[in-house]
Every structure is written in structure tokens, then in C-alpha cells.
């Protein structure tokens, strides 16, 4: 199996890439699907204590899925809350599309 670190890195890659390609104008179905996906993921994520905090965070900060911008910013802030918990550096959320969608512009 993947260990906690490899699983986390792969999962963040999936989630941020999903946010990168999320619709600018999602339909009600697309919004509902993304919320459902996150809720189910938070129940089946195969790191029990991670999943427990994930469910708590989702309750306190419900996913914002009304546009690509909104969802990618919400996800960035969610990831930053996990970064804080783990003592990692904060990611600059103004750079999230550069990192996960457009490629670094430098």
C-alpha cells in the first residue's frame, strides 16, 4: 500500500487537478457531484485519523463549488489547514492555478 505521505501527495495531486479542470460555470449536478465526492472521500480515505479531521474540517468549512476559481481557492485553503496542522509552510493561494493548471510562469 501507499504510506501516509505518498497517499497524501497522490491525493492532493488528484484533488488540485480536479479543481484545475473544474467548470467555470458548473451545473447543479456538477456541484452536487463534487460535494458528494469530497464527502465520500472523507469517509473512505484510508488513513483513519486523517479522515476524521477531514470530516470535521468539511463540516466547519463546507466545500465551495460554484466556480473553478471558488473551488480551487477553497481547496487551497483546506490544504493549508492540513499544512498548518503538520507544521508545513503555507502555500500562496494566489498561485494555485499557476501550480496546478497553467504551469509556473517565470
User: Which residue number is nearest to ligand FAD in terms of Cβ?
Assistant: 8
From 2, 9, 21, 46, residue interacting with ligand FAD (rule: CB under 6 A): 9
Cell of 100: 496546478
Nearer to ligand FAD, 86 or 105 (CB): 86
Are residues 16 and 72 in contact, defined by beta-carbon separation less than 8 angstroms? yes
CB atoms within 10 A of CB 55: 16
Q: Is the dihedral of CA 15, 88, 97, 102 positive or negative?
A: negative
From 18, 37, 39, 50, residue interacting with ligand FAD (rule: CB under 6 A): 50
Nearer to ligand FAD, 28 or 69 (CB): 69
Q: Which of 35, 104, 28, 97 is nearest to 68 (CA)?
A: 97
Q: Which residues bind ligand FAD (CB under 6 A)?
A: 4-5, 8-9, 11-12, 16, 49-50, 53-54, 76, 79-80, 82-83, 86, 88, 91, 96, 99
Amino acid at each position: 500500500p501507499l504510506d501516509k505521505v505518498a497517499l497524501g501527495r497522490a491525493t492532493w495531486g488528484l484533488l488540485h487537478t480536479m479543481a484545475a479542470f473544474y467548470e467555470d460555470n458548473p451545473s447543479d449536478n456538477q456541484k452536487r457531484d463534487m460535494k458528494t465526492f469530497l464527502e465520500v472521500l472523507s469517509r473512505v480515505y484510508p488513513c483513519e485519523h486523517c479522515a476524521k479531521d477531514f470530516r470535521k474540517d468539511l463540516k466547519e468549512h463546507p466545500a465551495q463549488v460554484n466556480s473553478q476559481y471558488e473551488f480551487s481557492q477553497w481547496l487551497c485553503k483546506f490544504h493549508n489547514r492540513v499544512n498548518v496542522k503538520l507544521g508545513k509552510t503555507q502555500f500562496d493561494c494566489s498561485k494555485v492555478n499557476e501550480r496546478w493548471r497553467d504551469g509556473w510562469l517565470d
